[in-house]
Amino acid sequence: MTIMRGTVEGVDAGAHTARVCLEGGAGVLEGVAILRVAHDAPLAPGDRVLVALWPDAAAVVLGAY
């Protein structure tokens, strides 16, 4: 597993997914699942986030920082 930083470009609140632009020109991920944490505010475009990536191309937004 790899942890990368990125910026949210869009959020689908109903599907709990986001479009994330990874730092360093690593690309843009579509439909990335957002980890649900009850006390966090919803993500919004422009939020800086941490993303966990697995070798099988799975990913999840861990949260904003």
What does the domain layout of the chain look like in residue ranges?
Answer: 2-64
The class of domain 2-64 in CATH terms is: mainly beta
pLDDT for res 37 = 75
Distance (Å, rounded) from C-alpha 51 to C-alpha 59? 7
Bridge partners, 49 (sequence order): 6, 64
pLDDT for res 40 = 66
State pTM to two decimals: 0.88
Distances (CA, A) of 43 to 1, 38, 56, 57: 23, 12, 25, 22
* Residue 39 pLDDT > 60: no
Name the more confident of 49 and 41. 49
